[in-house]
Chain A
């Protein structure tokens, strides 16, 4: 049997292009429903103001600043980054997605979407944190590097864990419980590196160890995610 519609198909678009299709679908969907952005924004704003009231405008040392910043980023990401998978399961669109798209394409698209969402979230959180809490950055290149690398690690783990918990009940609690032990090494290194960026006179190279650990962590988690995701998605 000859495929009658083969003339209107241009085959083999490539995995990147297919993952981008998932990404752009999620962006379009998010812009129309604001499913994840609202959850993240509300959590981030409320937390920043709560901390602002708690510290009462007093000066915070670099370690405390870095710790509070990453705690806000971590919990804000927990409130929103799981939504892309949970929404597919709750609205039952995951069935069609499974039928038409291989697992790695879905994971690639969702990972990219969560990464962009996390960067947007950071763009909102950091100025709020600087104005209402305290943010004394001494080494901007190091601060931005820690933020970008830490966010990539956070997005890769939360995306993978979101896929695991999306079929379960009590998803919220499960997401936090499963994510925390996996993200703890990342948080420790990100806080340590960010703290160094807030100390006067510290060179970029002073945070080499933290960056090496974070990059290794991202590579391991991303590779593991892509290896394990197929069985999670298809079973």
Chain B
């Protein structure tokens, strides 16, 4: 499948405070882009722009999927996101969360499939527990289950190994290295810079 992410001359500023400017990249399917930079340099802001949660001050983001150029809201059905910004419902179980988001996204996933996804992410046997009872590392693993649920063409990972133990980091490493779509990683970790076929340095 023809797949390409084009970031063209992106700039973002808040009143009296420029965050970044002149950010451009072109990433083809199967390739990985790493966004790095010090705290406050705009890594998470750039991820939010890619998700169309906020608008850039200047520039455009286009995702080409099978020769269709998608921008902003049209990109969302093709995005999987793992980010500190993304929070799941504490009062629902893991299965209920995954089932709900699949439902509102317009597809059905059988419960056995959901349980096997949880098993893959090291959450086997905890699918019926309320997410509010999960540790921060377990919540991070659950975010991966959700992000991969609809097999997105564009996987956005902001602080991908945040709160994870060694086995969790290995799982993330495997996910990033085996994805066939585009993976964008926003990180400060030096060990994660190696994931990038391209690197955007902010700040």
Contacts and interface: CB of A to CB of B under 8 A. Distances in A.
Contacts of B88: 93, 96
Given A1-B29, A234-B52, A93 B104 contact: no
Contacts of A18: 103-106
A98 B109 CA distance: 20
Contacts of A234: 52, 73
Nearest to A32: B91
Given A91-B90, A234-B73, A9 B85 contact: no
B113 interface: yes
A8 interface: yes
B101 A91 contact: no
Contacts of B79: 99
Nearest to A22: B104
B81 A25 contact: no
B181 A29 contact: no
B104 to A, nearest CB: 4
A101 to B, nearest CB: 4
Contact of B86 (A5, A17, A95): A95
- A interface majority secondary structure: helix
Interface residues of B, number: 39
Contacts of A96: 81, 86-88, 101, 146
Interface string B74-98: 0010010101011111111000100
A106 to B, nearest CB: 8
A33 B79 CA distance: 30
B10 interface: no
A4 B92 CA distance: 28
A93 to B, nearest CB: 5
B4 to A, nearest CB: 12
Given A1-B29, A28-B96, A21 B181 contact: no
Interface string A90-109: 01110111111100011001
B91 A13 contact: no
Interface string B140-172: 000000100111010000000000000000000
Contact of B151 (A4, A28, A100, A105): A4
B180 interface: yes
13 contacts: A2-B1, A4-B151, A8-B109, A8-B110, A9-B107, A12-B106, A21-B100, A25-B96, A28-B92, A91-B89, A91-B90, A95-B53, A98-B76
